[in-house]
Amino acid sequence: MSALEIQHRDPGTLARAGVLRTPHGEIRTPAFVPLATKATVKSLLPHEVAELGYDMVLGNTFHLFLDPGHERIRRFRGLHEFMGWRAPIITDSGGFQVFSMGHGTVADEVKGRAPMGQERMGKILAIEEDGVAFRSYLNGETLFMGPETSMEIQGALGSDIALVFDECTPFNVTREYTQRSTERTHRWLDRCLAWHDARGPEGQLVYGISQGGVHEDLRVESTQAVASRPVDGIAIGGSLGADKPQMYEVVSWATAAIADDPRPRHLLGIGEVDDLIRGVELGIDTFDCAMPTRLGRHGVAVVNDPERRWRVDLTAGRFKDSDEPLLEGCPCPACALGYTRGYLRYLVHARELTGQRLLTLHNLAYLSRLMQRLRAAIAEGTLAATAAALRAGELP
């Protein structure tokens, strides 16, 4: 039985709305999932994240493995207790971070992930059939991560949804490399499932990850190969292309290949406003992305501006004397306080923590309302009109 109960389907697209059930509660879908990379949604308290309308957060296997270590988190009775978030948690497999050490790509930027150089991950020493040896960015220690290690870490964290260990194939490799790598990812998928069957925590859901890069046949094959296994959900990962049109095409190949599959689908690392709207239309149930929280910490707010990727950079000097509100009509906790762009610009510029907090709250509130609007529209049968209005820059 699928953990996802599909309650409504949009007649014109693959969009669907429902409820995803996990050991720590339910997620209303489609949903955006904020990052709690290092066991916190940076600068926010768990109840604030919940009050913004979020049902689930994403913890990062790689970073938590390095520090504070999964065994320590196990001693604290798992990630939920450790970080005080008692609602659902999804953990990524660590594959993306491990492989990012070796290759930073254009695709990472398109997907809103950190371009290389911003986030030091360490160094890959060897990729072998068993997994990957790498040097820790913390202390230079040689560490190893493979399918079993990744599942063991996620088991110790006690996440509600675990993602299998995969090679996140970069954008600029050959078709042959992508094919070999995708086949290895499928072998790793079987090893992850075997480990989980024998030793995984009760009730934890396991999602497989579709690879195959930007090659239609490989992407379709990989998605079907993942779906043919007893996975609880299907995540779409790896290189999704060089630009948005190509990304939408790659995602559409994957979801079309499993159009009738009732299991939940997660799109990894995607979170811009237009991408979320399109992703929902393509049949995605959940999304995660560093964008809203990372941009917020760097002084960038999400606003109703389709011409500028829904962004305004408050660090710009022209806002010094601006008495404009951050976003007219926005009901978020930050905007409700009536702060001017001039004040927020000053806070960000002075590196005041309050500035980072206010923009994080605003950005997450915006995306939460966006997803809420899309969920309601699917239920009411008005997705086409709602999507058009949101794309034109209507306040969600």
Residue length, the chain? 396
* Pairwise CA distance, residues 299 & 278, whole Å: 26
Size of site (CB under 5 A) for Zn ion? 4
Candidates 195-203, 207-215, 278-286, 359-367; binding stretch for Zn ion (CB under 5 A): 359-367
Determine whether the annotation assigns residue 330 to a binding site: yes
Which of 284, 330 has the CB closer to Zn ion?
330
Candidates 155-163, 175-183, 241-249, 360-368; binding stretch for Zn ion (CB under 5 A): 360-368
Candidates 63-71, 186-194, 284-292, 354-362; binding stretch for Zn ion (CB under 5 A): 354-362
The pair of three-digit structure tokens given for residue 363, joined into one six-digit string: 């950005």
According to DSSP, the β-strands at 89-92 and 57-60 are parallel
Which of 186, 362 has the CB closer to Zn ion?
362
Least CB distance to Zn ion at residue 352 (A): 18
Annotated active-site residue 92? The verdict is yes
Q: Exposed, middle or buried: residue 68 (CB in 10 Å: 0-12, 13-18, 19+)?
A: middle
Determine whether the annotation assigns residue 211 to a binding site: yes
Query: Site for Zn ion (CB under 5 A): which residue of 56, 254, 277, 330?
Result: 330
Which of 134, 366 has the CB closer to Zn ion?
366
332 forms part of the interface with Zn ion (CB under 5 A): yes
Under DSSP, the state recorded for 201 is P
What single string gives the DSSP state of each residue in 136-162? Answer: ETTT--EEEE-HHHHHHHHHHHT-SEE
335 forms part of the interface with Zn ion (CB under 5 A): yes
- Of the candidates 55, 92, 160, 232, the residue annotated as catalytic is 92
The pair of three-digit structure tokens given for residue 68, joined into one six-digit string: 């504070």
Least CB distance to Zn ion at residue 54 (A): 15
Long-range CB contacts (< 8 A, 24+ apart) of 119-122? Answer: 121/62, 121/97
Helix, strand, coil percent content, the chain, rounded in steps of 5: 40, 20, 40
Which of 80, 341 has the CB closer to Zn ion?
341
Tell me which H or E stretch contains 17.
Answer: strand 16-22
Candidates 110-118, 166-174, 192-200, 358-366; binding stretch for Zn ion (CB under 5 A): 358-366
Annotated active-site residue 232? The verdict is no
SS3 348: helix
Per-residue H/E/C for 59-77 = EEHHHHHHCCCHHHHHHCC
Q: Exposed, middle or buried: residue 53 (CB in 10 Å: 0-12, 13-18, 19+)?
A: middle
Which of 164, 335 has the CB closer to Zn ion?
335
SS3 333: helix
Least CB distance to Zn ion at residue 77 (A): 36
- Of the candidates 10, 108, 232, 288, the residue annotated as catalytic is 288
Contact mark string toward Zn ion, 279..318, x via CB under 5 A: ----------------------------------------
Query: Site for Zn ion (CB under 5 A): which residue of 186, 266, 294, 362?
Result: 362
Which of 23, 342 has the CB closer to Zn ion?
342
* Pairwise CA distance, residues 316 & 175, whole Å: 42
For tokens 């004397």, the residue is 321
Residues forming contacts to Zn ion in the complex (CB under 5 A) are: 330, 332, 335, 362
- Binding-site residues for Zn(2+), in ranges, read 330, 332, 335, 362
Indicate which residues carry an active-site annotation.
92, 288
